[in-house]
Amino acid sequence: MQKKLILVITLLPLLMFIMACSNNQGTDQSSDKKETASDNTEKVELTVSAAASLKDAMTAIQSAYKKEHPEVELKFNYGGSGALQQQISQGAPVDLFFSAAEDKFDQLVESGDIAKEDGVGLVGNELVLVVPKEEQSIIASFHDLAKEEVNKMSIGTPESVPAGKYAQESLKKMKVWSSVESKVVYAKDVRQVLSYVETGNVDAGIVYKTDAFISNKVNIIATANPETHTPIIYPVGIIKDSNYYKEAKDFYSYLQSDEAMKVFRDYGFTTE
């Protein structure tokens, strides 16, 4: 009996040491798992090429989306839809395209850069004639652009800026284009047109209603009859070769949500 007691006393420290090692190993493994799980939370950067006229609405949407998806960083590339479409066609690393014109968007669908089922016509807009707010203007309608006293007016370059294409269509339909063509100062996008008017570098400009709404330096003189130009529809779609297709799909779906649509309406876009 005494021998057994001596044996137990001798082995007890060894057993306690083994148990302590086992517990430490389990703690280390648990810690490793936590670190691995944390390391696997990948930060995703989505690049969205969007028409310049969307900038203010998309900035608001970006802020709201960030709160719900902190792991996703939205990077925007704004410009004329035609120029953006060309960049994507030439392989620019883009995840989503938000165009101000269906024809530019359709070219990417036809080329296979965007799957048809991954695109939707999301919002609409209106075309307006604006003049500098601080100056007395003799312009009261689109037809007044033909007056001799009007020296310069601005629209976006029709080949690459949808707003410019719509403006040209309207002026032709109203039989004003031939009288104003020599006065036109072309701009790289609709925001540049707005800037020309705000600074008084031109007597008038044709921009989207949403752009005019964000400026306190211009007055809206008239709204173009929708029948004088191609319907203004903004389609958005996912680039097929996106490195983050799932995340792009999630943002694409969010843009169609009630929350996002309210933001678009707040900034003057039509959603029906």
Spatial contact of 146 and 179, defined as CB atoms under 8 Å apart:
yes
- Is 212 one of the annotated binding-site residues? no
- Is 99 one of the annotated binding-site residues? no
Handedness of CA 55, 58, 257, 115 (dihedral sign): positive
The separation between CA 93 and the C-alpha centre of its own chain, rounded to angstroms, equals: 15
Spatial contact of 175 and 181, defined as CB atoms under 8 Å apart:
no
The separation between CA 199 and the C-alpha centre of its own chain, rounded to angstroms, equals: 26
Q: Is 200 left (phi over 0), alpha (psi -120 to 50) or beta?
A: left
How far is it, in rounded angstroms, from Cα 23 to Cα 166? 73
Spatial contact of 115 and 262, defined as CB atoms under 8 Å apart:
no
- Is 53 one of the annotated binding-site residues? yes
Spatial contact of 206 and 155, defined as CB atoms under 8 Å apart:
yes
103-108: which pairs have CB atoms within 8 A and are 24 or more residues apart?
A: 104/162, 105/81, 105/235, 105/237, 108/237, 108/239
Residue ranges at the known binding site for molybdate: 53, 81, 163, 190, 208
Q: Which parts are annotated binding residues?
A: 53, 81, 163, 190, 208
